[in-house]
Amino acid sequence: MDMNESPIGVFDSGVGGLSVLRHIRNQLPHENLLYVADSAYAPYGSRSSEEIQERSLALAEFLTGHGAKALVVACNTATASAAALLRKRHDLPIVAMEPAVKPAVETTRNGIIGVLATSSMLKSAQFAALVESYGKEVHIITRAGIGLVECVERGDLDGDEVKTLLHGYLTPMLEQGADTLVLGCTHYPFLRPVIEQVVCGRMSIIDTGAAVASHLRQRIEDAGIAAARPGHGEASFWTSGSADQAHEVMSRLWAWSSHYPGDV
């Protein structure tokens, strides 16, 4: 197969990476897309680095086995644990996630930033390096969004549990004066409508999906492997979890994305 016509492979610990896939579709409408939700192992935030590396290698092998010309690690936790290893194993463009600490520092007006992410991401060397590089002049408040990934995985985007969890995580940030919020997990953009209700316009919300898609577009254009076909590409989906549950939840989230594009 001509590399230009080959698909782009995207994976996440579950369905959250669809929030990144929507930006990729918006910016690269001609590309065929492959997406794998590793829902049987979600959430990655509670797993060891070794487990995450093993799963990331397996998913990358699956996607390259289906002809992927580029890979997107649409998971902050997998990025922290496995992106460097994937780049050693695969000679193709690999684009990964990064909590938007730098954009948040550029956005904040009062120097107080909230970061909502998984426990693993907040404990990672990657996050520590970002704080060291960009966070010296600001105050960063972190919260591990325990339970939020599981809510999104079962398609609960606005139920009582989601609202209670988000109030618990975000209210202390607001009370401490945070005016900017970084969504440090790809599942969290699907909760943005509830997040916006909780913060009531008092915080700017930063989702890195659009920046990832832009970087991917630049990488494949620089490599000369961008799709040349007219019209829209196709998207194919797989899961390591229940096929029936995945079909229901992923269909809902993919449809949701077209009605709530977020920051494009």
Does the annotation count 185 as an active-site position? yes
Distance CA 23, CA 264 (A): 7
The residue from 24, 83, 185, 250 that is catalytic is 185
Cα 62 to chain centroid distance, Å, stands at 19
50: left (phi over 0), alpha (psi -120 to 50) or beta: alpha
Q: What are phi and psi of 240, to 5 degrees?
A: -95, -5
- 3 state SS of 9: strand
DSSP 223: T
Element housing 115 (H / E): strand 112-117
Specify whether the CB–CB gap between 70 and 8 falls below 8 A.
yes
DSSP 177: T
The amino acid at residue 110 is N
Strand order in the sheet with 235-239: 94-96, 70-73, 8-12, 33-37, 235-239
Q: What are phi and psi of 235, to 5 degrees?
A: -125, 130
DSSP 45: G
The residue from 15, 75, 225, 246 that is catalytic is 75
Distance CA 150, CA 148 (A): 5
User: Could you tell me which residues are beta bridge partners of residue 142?
Assistant: 115
Distance CA 132, CA 4 (A): 39
Q: Which residues are catalytic?
A: 75, 185
